[in-house]
């Protein structure tokens, strides 16, 4: 039972350094197997999604050497199979990048698809459209894997019907070694699309226009090895910006590209917070009198859907009524019920894509559950603002995308730990309790043993009541 446990109420203060972008790194790891020569990747985040991808690459035969915690050398000349059928790859959606990479290099790939996603709410029809245009045939196998195969891949003009990060990167991967010229129209412009293209170009690919909505790729015969530092994580940076604002703190966020954060900064300014930009850092100062604003998610350079839950946690504490409209994914408001249990006043429209947030004066700590990665981050932000103790369970989701989240928060003065059992929870509560709570706790301890299955909240209640 890994949980984050925190005692809220302290403004975050100090400096935090942002790691490499998880979503860029997932595409980049797939790109790295497209040459037989060594590719050294620096600034790789140590998060579970990345480690799953590294394991998959290793399990099909590539050599993966960890040079240090954030640097790996991948040598893919030893790959023995194009079948990536391990059950664990279904845990990460981005395993579909292995289809583009293997198909591009070997003209055949079979990859286990994320459970239920392919034809469900997060379709991959645009990925398939791109592969088909390049000359590949695809089918879903009886075991739920996607098989893609081509005699040869030939460059084509491809119009994406939906702006998709995944499809743009996947088609780019499949086309860099194709014959002739590929043009991707309505391409996604996210920083991670640009980062994957930059790595591929360093490996000898000829890609132009990444970061605009038209990407042109001249196929080359082969790619070579290189060393490449992964771009800083826009979403990790944005999360700390929102945490600084929510706690009325003052935080310098280092190792960022301020340009990637402009829309997040703009929303914080609208709320009345202060944002200062430096060459590779931003400083965010919160404002106890934050005011409402409206947010609508859209593809880059619009407001990122991956920042929507964390922003809701801040707006829940802002004066007035804010509206958040989610226009990318249907299922992005799973955190609303949990935030409301902490005292937020958020209602969803019937269709489920617009949240109306009436600002409240504070949150109350309780036990909540992370429904997904970014929602989990939003609940941590709320917990850091809340009165009393909050435990966030199911943090496996949060660990997919945030490295040392609790360590970094503690570096900013937060009272937050990861606990794996009730004893550790009790220790944290004892260490952080106010003097009068400590006295109560001593009394309770002297007179009663807490039951084994008590929640953190119940343990706390026992201490203070």
Q: Using CB under 6 A, list all residues that contact ligand UD1.
A: 23, 26, 93-94, 122-127, 162, 164-167, 188, 192, 304-306, 328-329
The Cα 457–Cα 451 span in angstroms is: 13
Residue 386 is classified by DSSP as S
3-state secondary structure of 100: helix
Q: How far is the CB of 420 from ligand UD1 (least distance, A)?
A: 27
> Which is closer to ligand UD1, CB of 7 or CB of 127?
127
CB of 126 to ligand UD1, least distance (A): 3
- For residue 185, the minimal CB distance to ligand UD1 (Å) is 15
Backbone angles phi, psi at 238, to 5 degrees: -60, -35
Say whether 349 is catalytic: no
Give the number of other Cβ atoms within 10 Å of residue 446's Cβ.
7
For 64-85, what is the HEC assignment? EEEEECCEEEEEHHHCCCCEEC
Q: 187 vs 419, which CB is nearer to ligand UD1?
A: 187
Give the residues across from 146 on adjacent strands: 111, 140
Three-state DSSP at 35 gives coil
Least spacing, CB of residue 165 vs ligand UD1, in Å? 4
Length of the chain: 465
Quote the least distance from Cβ 267 to ligand UD1, whole Å.
16
Write out the two tokens for 146. Answer: 């996607």
Q: Whose Cβ is closer to ligand UD1: residue 127's or residue 267's?
A: 127
Q: Integer distance in angstroms from the first to the last C-alpha of the chain?
A: 25
Nearest CA to 173 out of 189, 159, 153, 144 is that of: 153
**Cα separation of 89 and 81, whole Å?**
15
The residue number whose beta carbon is nearest to ligand UD1 equals 166
Q: Nearer to ligand UD1 by C-beta: 125 or 442?
A: 125
- State which residue, 47 or 188, has the beta carbon closest to ligand UD1: 188
Distance (Å, whole) CA 465 – CA 462: 6
Which amino acids are annotated catalytic? Answer: 117
């Amino acid at each position: 039972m890994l949980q984050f446990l925190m005692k809220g109420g302290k403004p975050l203060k100090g400096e935090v350094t942002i790691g490499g972008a998880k979503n860029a790194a997932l595409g980049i790891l797939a790109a790295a197997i497209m040459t037989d020569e060594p590719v050294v990747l620096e600034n790789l985040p140590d998060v579970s999604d990345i480690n799953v991808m590294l394991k998959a690459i290793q399990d099909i035969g590539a050599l993966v050497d960890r040079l240090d915690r954030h640097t790996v050398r991948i040598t893919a000349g030893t790959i023995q199979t194009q079948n990536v059928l391990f059950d664990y790859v279904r845990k990460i959606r981005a395993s579909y990048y292995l289809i583009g990479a293997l198909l591009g290099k070997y003209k055949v790939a079979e990859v286990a698809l994320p459970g239920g996603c392919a034809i469900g709410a997060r379709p991959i029809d645009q990925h398939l459209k791109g592969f088909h245009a390049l000359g590949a045939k695809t089918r879903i196998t009886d075991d739920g894997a996607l098989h893609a195969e081509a005699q040869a891949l030939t460059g084509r003009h491809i119009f994406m019907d939906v702006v998709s990060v995944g499809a743009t990167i996947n088609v780019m991967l499949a086309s860099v070694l194709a014959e002739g010229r590929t043009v991707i129209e309505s391409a996604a412009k996210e920083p991670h699309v640009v980062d994957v293209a930059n790595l591929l170009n360093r490996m000898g690919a000829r890609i132009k226009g990444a970061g605009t909505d038209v990407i042109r790729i001249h196929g080359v015969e082969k790619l070579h090895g290189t060393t490449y530092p992964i771009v800083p994580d826009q979403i990790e940076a944005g999360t700390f910006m929102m945490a600084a604002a929510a706690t009325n703190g003052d935080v310098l966020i280092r190792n960022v590209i301020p340009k990637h954060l402009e829309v997040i900064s703009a929303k914080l300014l609208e709320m009345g917070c202060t944002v200062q930009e430096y060459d590779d850092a931003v400083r965010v100062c919160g404002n106890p009198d934050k005011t409402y604003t409206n947010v609508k998610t859209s593809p880059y350079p619009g407001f990122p859907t991956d920042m929507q839950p964390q922003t809701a946690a801040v707006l829940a504490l802002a004066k007035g009524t804010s509206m958040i409209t989610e226009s990318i994914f249907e299922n992005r408001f799973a955190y609303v019920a949990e935030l409301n249990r902490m005292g937020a006043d958020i209602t969803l429209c019937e269709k489920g894509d617009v949240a109306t947030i009436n600002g409240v004066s504070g949150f109350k700590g309780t036990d909540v559950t992370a429904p997904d990665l970014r929602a989990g981050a939003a609940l941590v932000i709320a917990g850091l603002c809340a009165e009393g103790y909050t435990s966030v369970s199911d943090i496996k989701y949060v660990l997919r995308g945030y490295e040392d989240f609790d360590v970094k928060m503690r570096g900013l003065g937060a009272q937050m730990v990861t606990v794996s059992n009730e004893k550790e929870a009790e220790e944290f509560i004892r260490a952080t309790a106010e003097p009068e709570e400590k006295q109560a706790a001593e009394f309770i301890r002297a007179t009663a043993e807490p039951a084994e299955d008590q929640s953190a909240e119940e343990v706390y209640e026992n201490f203070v009541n």
